[in-house]
Amino acid sequence: MPTLRALLVAPLLLVLLGLGTATLSSEPHLTPSAAYLPRLVARGGAPTAALLARHAPSASSAPYDTFRSTGPGIHRADRFRAGSITKTFVATVVLQLAGERRLQLSDTVDQLLPGLIRGNGNDGRRITLRALLSHTSGLYDYTAAASGTSARPVSATAAVRVALAHRPTNAPGGYAYSNTNYVVLGLVVQRVTGHDYATEIRHRIITPLHLTGTSLPGARTSLPAPHGRGYTRDPADGSLRDVTVLDPRTAGAAGELISTLCDLNRFYAALLGGRLLPPPLLATLLNTGAAHGVYGLGIYPLKLSCGTTVWGHSGRIAGSYVRTAATRDGRHTLTYRVDTDTLTDATTLEPGLLDAEFCGRAPRT
């Protein structure tokens, strides 16, 4: 599953901060996912977990929300680091620029950023913007290179230099998830617009959709209030370590976003509902052909056991894991999060939670 990888991610917590029980509210619309949520703590090893589901049964009906959490350490309005969900925002901006004819997805990196990508078999003259968006460029993931070292690139150009110290990870056209792709796309946005990608995201997405809990922090190391804590496990002794404060510049356009449960649901509902991209460009965003069905352009599908396909992205960064999934029309969305980096048995737990929400299946014991 796509993640912002090892540079900002430490291993899973060993010691839990208290299991807790699902917090039941007075909201009348309950879903099986509420009963499933405590498993992310009991089996997944997360200190606390929360989810927010939004349903809009029809275009004419008002949406309703269902919020659940597993304990007092995590709240509905909390700001948290959303990691690689940043990529969907960046991809949306790039598609909007394509719609404005300010760039084309067939443009090469070298056309827009001459000489940036050269060396060790990497050649920006052969890498298109579509290849960056779909993770088919072959560029090495700079976060993997920095794993386990104290030297962490804090600028986009430094991250690209780290990646270029390595040969391509796959042949041209092959899918290989790499955070470097979106760091380069951030530079493309700045080259085309004259503004950094954060400014364009605020202008084009955050402000129009009134995403009041969403921000791109730049060099700011703290989270805006209100927020909880983020924890990781110290690999040396297994103790809990608070990583709430961190330098997000290492993640950049690949994963610096801060958001809320409500804002992420609103964003994906608007995107899939056609409010941010016209139908032809939305179809382009959702086209998984380049990545052989695995990934679209900044968004990816997952087919559930009942046959329903949901669209969205996951985000992993030190102290936080979040996942948003939505139906193709954007009328049913779910965002869940835990306040640590990784879920044990995530390959089973996450599909189980999504099945419970979108297939209406009660969790099995």
26 included as an active-site residue: no
Whole-angstrom distance between the N-terminal and C-terminal Cα of the chain? 25
Strands in 124-257 per DSSP E:
231-233, 240-242
Contact assessment for residue 175 and residue 181, using Cβ atoms and an 8 Å cutoff: no
- Each of the 365 residues of the chain gets a pLDDT tens digit; together they read 555 544 444 332 222 222 223 333 334 445 789 899 999 999 988 999 999 999 988 777 788 899 999 988 899 999 999 999 999 999 999 999 999 999 999 999 999 999 999 999 999 999 999 999 999 999 999 999 865 444 578 899 999 999 999 999 988 789 999 999 999 999 999 999 999 999 999 999 999 999 999 999 999 999 999 999 999 877 777 667 899 999 999 999 999 999 999 999 999 999 999 999 999 999 999 999 999 999 999 999 999 999 999 999 999 999 999 999 999 999 999 999 999 987 788 889 999 999 999 998 766 55
Contact assessment for residue 12 and residue 20, using Cβ atoms and an 8 Å cutoff: no
- Among 69, 84, 259, 320, which one carries the catalytic annotation? 84
Contact assessment for residue 325 and residue 358, using Cβ atoms and an 8 Å cutoff: yes
Contact assessment for residue 27 and residue 336, using Cβ atoms and an 8 Å cutoff: no
Contacts of 364 (CB under 8 A, 6+ apart): none
Distance (Å) of CA 338 to CA 84, 197, 320, 345, 362:
15, 27, 6, 14, 21
Coil, helix or strand at residue 312:
strand
What is the model's pTM?
0.91
Tokens 């649901």 identify what position? 265
CB atoms within 10 A of CB 35: 14
Distance (Å) of CA 263 to CA 76, 278, 346:
11, 21, 24
Contact assessment for residue 334 and residue 52, using Cβ atoms and an 8 Å cutoff: yes
Report the C-alpha gap between 297 and 285 in whole angstroms: 5
Residue 274 exposure: Cα atoms within 13 Å on the Cβ side? 6
Contacts of 56 (CB under 8 A, 6+ apart): 62, 63, 269, 330, 331, 332
Report the C-alpha gap between 365 and 362 in whole angstroms: 10
Residue 18 confidence (pLDDT): 26
**CATH class of the 6-358 domain in this structure:** alpha beta
Residue 5 confidence (pLDDT): 45
Contacts of 30 (CB under 8 A, 6+ apart): 66
Q: What is the tens place of the pLDDT at every residue in 102-148?
A: 999 999 999 999 999 999 999 999 999 999 999 999 999 999 986 54
Q: What is the sign of the dihedral through the CA atoms of 259, 263, 267 and 268?
A: positive
Coil, helix or strand at residue 365:
coil
Residue 30 confidence (pLDDT): 55
